[in-house]
Chain A
Amino acid sequence: MAASVSVERGGSVPPENKIYRAMNPNHLQSGLPSDNHFVMRQNHAPDDGVSTGISSLIQLAELRSIPAIVKICGESCGAAELLVSEVLAPVALLGISVLQQDSSDWGSFAGAHAVITGYQGLKGNDGRRKIRDFQRHLVKLARKAYFPQGSNTAFSMDVVPFSE
């Protein structure tokens, strides 16, 4: 198990931490993370959010072995690694945060679960635009450090996959 660091239960994950986001293979675009991996809606419940694992509390192999993730992603799921400070850099003033949140689906790793949340407070057309900007930002970060399915090596795939 990864070295334990202090993450307050229900509190913000410290900015120097990294978080893993499991990548549903059905959402990959040309093999890369896409918008569908970071779905955020204004009408989500306040405690909803983008599900992640705190890397100091759970290793990649352990994340990949969680039954709920195996069920969706299959064996040795692809995952992105994001630095919390980078995640929050452009949205710190918008009330978005990364919060530790126990998850019963994660069994013995329940405490390693965290969510990216707070976007529900962004209202109206402008709020929706800000959520789209943030979603795009997360996809870019995910492409910067992405562990493809079955790989323990992170690749930076920050390339433009679209045709000109």
Chain B
Amino acid sequence: MATAEVIHDPSTSAITEAAIPLLVRNVPGSTQGYEISSEAQTPVFFAPGSGFGLGVTVHLAGSIWRDLFRETVSGFYTSVAKNYMSWFIDVTERKSSVAWDRLNLELMRAASLQPNWDGEGAEPIPPNAVTTASILLSIAKNSTEQLAGGSTPSLPSLFPSVDGGITLKWIRGTKELKCTVFGNTVEVVRWRSLDAYESEGLWEVPVQEVGEHVEWLLR
């Protein structure tokens, strides 16, 4: 069996015993210089092209770059967040606007229905009902934008009724609102809960007074 052989060199043992600490110097038997210190060094990051060899400069540059880096990252995310919010609001408003436009198109489609459009004798929608429904849509849109801020649009469904009316129906949360335009007036029915059978009331009002019912829905 091979055994490691320890060669005792009395000329180096004294050096080994007295070796700590050593500063830059040549270690006996080596051609390289070593810097040995018991002090822990703070890690530093060198800015490209600066601070070579100067500890103080290197530390200062590292701090500036750290701050700069931190500010840049923070600024970047703030900017992204701002842009995203602005984009989100724009998109939401645009979507809402498109949805209201679509309702107006639905109204125009209903306005073009011929007598007996359902095959069961349904009446066509008279022009004054179309005008009133158009005003109602405008009132509803304004109320929604003011009270819901456009961020949570509450859009009604719109459909013609067989007796020559136009019905707009909303469901928002637990509330339900149904407005049926007959000529120049609007029949309004409200239900406080989707599960409730009985309505809160029925009102027959001019279109200018429907706003308060839409506000009831949005509140």
Q: With a CB–CB cut-off of 8 A, which chain A residues contact B93? A: none
**Closest residue of B by beta carbon distance from A34:** B159
Q: What's the count of A-B pairs with C-beta under 8 Å?
A: 66
Residues of chain A from 70 to 103 with CB closer than 8 A to chain B in the complex:
71-72, 90
**Closest residue of B by beta carbon distance from A28:** B159
**Closest residue of B by beta carbon distance from A134:** B197
Q: With a CB–CB cut-off of 8 A, which chain A residues contact B163? A: 39, 41
* Alpha-carbon separation in the docked complex, A125 to B99 (Å): 33
* Alpha-carbon separation in the docked complex, A35 to B162 (Å): 9
Please determine whether A163 and B99 come into contact, CB atoms closer than 8 angstroms.
Answer: yes
Chain A interface residue count, CB cutoff 8 Å, equals 26
Please determine whether B199 and A160 come into contact, CB atoms closer than 8 angstroms.
Answer: no
Please determine whether A26 and B119 come into contact, CB atoms closer than 8 angstroms.
Answer: yes
Please determine whether B199 and A132 come into contact, CB atoms closer than 8 angstroms.
Answer: yes
Please determine whether B161 and A35 come into contact, CB atoms closer than 8 angstroms.
Answer: yes
Instruction: For the complex formed, measure the closest distance between the CB of B63 and the CB atoms of chain A, giving whole angstroms.
Output: 52
Please determine whether B198 and A133 come into contact, CB atoms closer than 8 angstroms.
Answer: yes
Q: With a CB–CB cut-off of 8 A, which chain B residues contact A164? A: 152, 154, 171-172
Instruction: For the complex formed, measure the closest distance between the CB of B12 and the CB atoms of chain A, giving whole angstroms.
Output: 86
Please determine whether B204 and A125 come into contact, CB atoms closer than 8 angstroms.
Answer: yes
* Alpha-carbon separation in the docked complex, A30 to B161 (Å): 15
Q: With a CB–CB cut-off of 8 A, which chain A residues contact B162? A: 27, 36, 39
User: Is B118 close to A, CB under 8 A?
Assistant: yes
* Alpha-carbon separation in the docked complex, A94 to B199 (Å): 16
Identify the 3 closest CB pairs spanning chains A and B, nearest first.
A129-B202, A26-B118, A162-B171
Interface residues, chain B, with chain A CB atoms under 8 Å away: 99, 117-120, 122, 152-157, 159, 161-163, 167, 169-172, 178, 187, 189, 191, 194, 197-199, 201-202, 204
Interface residues, chain A, with chain B CB atoms under 8 Å away: 24, 26-27, 29-30, 34-36, 39, 41, 71-72, 90, 125-126, 128-129, 132-133, 136-137, 160-164
Known: A36-B162, A136-B199, A161-B157. 19 other contacts (CB 8 A): A24-B120, A26-B118, A26-B122, A29-B157, A29-B159, A34-B159, A36-B122, A36-B159, A72-B120, A90-B197, A125-B204, A128-B187, A128-B202, A132-B199, A133-B198, A133-B199, A162-B156, A162-B171, A163-B154
